[in-house]
Amino acid sequence: MRPQDLGPGGIWGSGFGVQDDLGVQDFGVQGAFLGRPPRALSEAGQERERRRRGQELAKLREWRRDEERRRAAEERRRDRAEERAARQRVREKIERDKAERAQRVRLPDGRALTQSFRAREPLAAVRLFVELHRGPGGSGGPG
């Protein structure tokens, strides 16, 4: 329900200066825009008009609540999507770090050697690589 769907006079029925708890104020200017003075209503007419205004205000309140719910739901969807994307970025970084860590060999003197080894390659291949690239005067066991 949109405010323009509330009918002629919309939320501004024919009362004067009545304000509801949502801050919607009814100034009773419906007839003033047409250049005619407000007409006097019978008691039954006034009651019908009061009910109509009450229904319009109820429709407006309902519309506002629905809009607020839609906005809140959309915000929750955006937040969830952002959280999923952030988690995915963290997972990818962890995988990159794992892959990078698996390719480094740190020597006892603090230097790091980097080389790619296949997952099924024997540890002897890694040891041979380290011994070949350790450099002169390297320490670290028999050799």
More confident site: 129 or 140: 129
The pLDDT-based confidence of 124 (bands split at 50, 70, 90) is confident
Could you tell me if 25 and 58 lie in one domain?
Answer: yes
pLDDT reported for residue 16: 47
What mean pLDDT, rounded, does the chain reach? Answer: 75
* Residue 78 in tokens: 């955006």
pLDDT tens across 59-110, in order?
999 999 999 999 999 999 999 999 999 999 999 998 887 776 666 667 777 7
> Do 60 and 115 reside in the same domain of the chain?
no
pLDDT tens string 22-42: 555 555 544 444 555 556 678
Residue 91, domain member (yes or no): yes
Percentage of the chain exceeding pLDDT 90: 31
Domain around 57: 3-101
The secondary structure element, H or E, covering residue 85 is: helix 43-102
Nearest one of 108, 105, 2, 18 to 54, comparing CA atoms: 18
Within a domain: 127: yes
Pairwise pLDDT comparison (127 vs 57), residue with the higher score = 57
State residue 22's pLDDT score.
Answer: 56
CA separation for the pair 79, 15 (Å, rounded) = 44
Please, are residues 99 and 92 in contact by the beta-carbon 8 Å criterion?
no
* Position 140 in a domain: no
Q: Is residue 139 part of a domain?
A: no
| 82 shares its domain with 16 | yes
Looking at the structure, do residues 97 and 122 belong to the same domain, yes or no? no
Same domain for 89 and 110? no
In a domain, 97, yes or no: yes
Domain total of the chain: 2
Predicted pLDDT of residue 120: 73
**pLDDT on residue 8:** 54
